[in-house]
Amino acid sequence: MKKPIAVLFLLISLISLNSFSQSKEEIITNSSAEEFNDLISARTDASVILDVRTSKEFESGHIENAVNIDYFSNDFENSLSKLDKSKTYFVYCKSGVRSGKASNMLNKLGFKKIYTLKGGIDNWSAKGFSVVK
């Protein structure tokens, strides 16, 4: 009787160790303004800078080449689902809250490489990085 229990325990232990050792690739990376700038400066056509603020906020100044999809729009999640999942996304908002939530949505929708800007565009501007209107 002890032998089957020991075998079962060993099997469960091996499965648990195997699952633990297979760490998932980090999908969402929170980046400082400096890191975010470096990343978008080196970006390729296989990436998108995504501003999730309102259109009014976007028009007041945004990161160059950013695409605007308003987090508060009724079809926000639907708009995200239409994006190319094979691309890398650099997501930001005003302070980092909406971009964090948007990045989690992207992750749930199957996107694999997402960078968020810590502190949002407020932090970006405070660090002296430029915005365009």
Catalytic residue annotation: 93
Close Cβ partners of 130 (under 8 Å, ≥ 6 residues apart): 64
User: Phi, psi (5° rounding) for residue 48?
Assistant: -135, 135
In terms of phi and psi (left: phi > 0; alpha: psi -120 to 50; beta: otherwise), the region of 3 is alpha
In terms of phi and psi (left: phi > 0; alpha: psi -120 to 50; beta: otherwise), the region of 17 is alpha
